[in-house]
Structure 1
Amino acid sequence: MKTFPGPRGLPDTGDRDWWLPAIALMADGVPRDKIFPMDLDRAYKKLDEIKPYISVWWKTGNQVAQIMRDQEVAMTLSYSGRALTAMNEGAPFQLSWNDAIMDTGYFAILKDAPNPEGALKFINYFYGHAEGHPAFIKTANYATHSKDGMALLPPEEQKNYATAPENFKLLMVPDFKWIGENRDMLRERWQNWLAE
C-alpha cells in the first residue's frame, strides 16, 4: 500500500472467490506457479490486510471501466479489455501484466439458436482465418487465440494484450481442476469474509 498509495478497487464478481485469494497469495510472496492448491488461511490473512484500503468493490465490467474513467481509484484489478477501453477513452492508467491471471473466452451456440448452422460456420471461419482477428481484437479489446492474427497488428498495439510473448510469460495460470473441485467451499469462504 505504501509503494502505490491511493484508493483501490477489487471485483466482487463471479470469479472473485478464487481470483482474489490467488492475488493475495502472490502479494504475500507466493510464486505464481505455486498458487495451487491454495493456502486459503494465508490468502485470507493477506486479504484482511488489504480490505481496509478497498474503496470500490465493483460488480461489472462496465463499473470497473467507469471507476477508472472517473478516477475513483488509483489502482484496480480489472478485465484487461475493460481497462484498455477506459485507457483508450483517456483514463490515466497503465496495464501491468506481472502476475495477471490467465483466463479464457469461448464462443458458444445457444441450444435453441435460430440459425445454429450459420453460427457454426462463423466460428469455423473465425478460427480458420487470421485476417479477421485484428478488427475483432481492436473492437473487443481482447486478444484471440490466433498468433497469425495478432502478428497483423502493429507491434506497439500487440503489447496491449495478454498474448504478446513478453506479457504471456508473466501470467499466472489457474488450476481450473482444483478450482472446480473446491468451488462451493471457495464461494462460501469468500461470501463469509466479505460480510465480516
Structure 2
Amino acid sequence: MPRCWRRSSRAGRSATCDLINNSMMSHNKYVQQDALEKLDLDRVKSVKRAKIPEAQITDHAIGAAFYGQCIGYRTDAFGGRKPESWADFWDTKVFKGGRSMVSPDGDLPELEFALLADGVPMDKLYPLDVDRAFKVLTRLRGDIKKYWDSGPLPGVLLSRQEVTMSTVWDGRLADLQKQGVPVERQLNGMRRQFSGYAIAKGAANIDAAYKLMDFSLRAESQAALVKFFPSNPSSPVAYAKLTDEERNASAGAPKYYDKGFDADVEWWLKNESAVTKRWLEWAR
C-alpha cells in the first residue's frame, strides 16, 4: 500500500502529497505518467553511507526495503522433512497436501517459481519463458486449493490446515509462530521486490521531502524499523546494527541474501498486462 507524507498544502499545486513510499515498480509507472520529481542525489547524503545497492537507485526513486515472496509450510505435515526448493513445492508425492499460490490481485504471477521448479537457474530466469512457466504451473494446478489475494491469507490457510504449503510474503508468518502455529518459511528461491521513496511532481514541501527521505534511508533508521515491523532493509550496513536474533529473522540478512533473486522490474513492466491476462484465462 502506498504511503504519502506532507506537512502542509499550498494553493495552486496539483500534488496531494510530497514524499511517496511505494514499490519501485509502481514508481516506474509513475515516471511514465510524469508524476515524480527527478531526484537530486546530492540532497540524499545517506544513500552512499548506507551503501544502498546501485540497482535500487534510479533517477526518480530510491529503494529502502524489500519483501521476499517465498515458501511457507507446516512443519508438522511431512514427517520431519522440510521443503528445500521450489521443486519440493511442486512435489506433492513426497510433500503431500494442498497448495496455495498468489492471484494477480495479490501480487505478480509467480512464473519465476515454476521455472525454478523446472530447473532453470536463478541467474538465467529473465527474460522469463512464459510458455514453459505455464506448462509447469499446469502440472500443479489440480493441487492448488486457493489463490490468495491478500497478505494474511496464506497464513490463514496454513493455520486451518487447508494447505500444507503456500507462497507467502516472508514476514507474514512471524505472528503465527509467536502464537505457536507450526509454520516456517523457506527462503531458497525467494523473489525480492523493493519498495522505496520518491517525491511527487509539484510537491509543495520539497525540502522537507528530501530531509525525510534522507533520514529514512539512513542505515540507523532502516535498522530501527526492523525492531517494530518485519522489514528487510535495502542497506547492507543496517544489518550490522541488529542483534543476531533480529538479523536472522530478516530475509535480507547476509546468510539468506544469495538464496534469492530480484524481480526484474523492467521485464514485468513490459509484460505484466499480457501475463496477467493469460493467467486469468489459465486459472478459469
Tell me whether 23-32 or 111-120 shows the greater mean CA deviation. Answer: 111-120
Tell me whether 151-160 or 43-52 shows the greater mean CA deviation. Answer: 151-160
| Equivalent residue letter for 2:186 | S
Q: 1:16 aligns with which of 82, 99, 108?
A: 108
Q: If the length of structure 1 is used for normalisation, what is the TM-score?
A: 0.84
CA contact (8 A) 2:223 2:242 kept: yes
Q: If the length of structure 2 is used for normalisation, what is the TM-score?
A: 0.60
What do the CA deviations read for 1:82-130 (whole angstroms, capped 9, x no partner)?
Answer: 13333333331222111110211123566798976555433221212x3
More helix by share: 1
Q: Residue 66 of structure 1 aligns with which residue?
A: 156
Query: Whose radius of gyration is greater, 1 or 2?
Result: 2
Kindly report which structure 2 residues correspond to 1:21-40, keeping only aligned pairs within 5 A, or say none. 21-40=111-130
CA contact (8 A) 1:33 1:173 kept: no
The number of residue pairs the alignment matches comes to 192
Q: 1:7 aligns with which of 74, 98, 115?
A: 98
2 and 157 in structure 1: CA distance in 2 versus 1, 3 angstrom threshold: farther
Q: Note the residue ranges of structure 1 that are not aligned, 5 or more in a row.
A: none
Q: In the TM superposition, what is the alpha-carbon distance from 1:14 to its structure 2 partner?
A: 4.5
Q: Note the residue ranges of structure 2 that are not aligned, 5 or more in a row.
A: 1-91
Kindly report which structure 2 residues correspond to 1:1-196, keeping only aligned pairs within 5 A, or say none. 1-12=92-103, 13-17=105-109, 20-108=110-198, 118-128=208-218, 130-195=219-284
Greater relative contact order structure (CA < 8 Å, 6+ sep): 2
CA distance in 2, matches of 1:8, 1:120: 44
| Equivalent residue letter for 1:38 | L
Q: In the TM superposition, what is the alpha-carbon distance from 1:3 to its structure 2 partner?
A: 2.5
| Equivalent residue letter for 2:259 | L
CA distance in 2, matches of 1:43, 1:169: 23
57 and 148 in structure 1: CA distance in 2 versus 1, 3 angstrom threshold: same
Q: In the TM superposition, what is the alpha-carbon distance from 1:149 to its structure 2 partner?
A: 2.3
CA distance in 2, matches of 1:138, 1:67: 27
CA contact (8 A) 1:80 1:142 kept: no
Identity value in percent:
31
CA contact (8 A) 1:8 1:74 kept: yes
- Cα RMSD, aligned residues only: 2.4
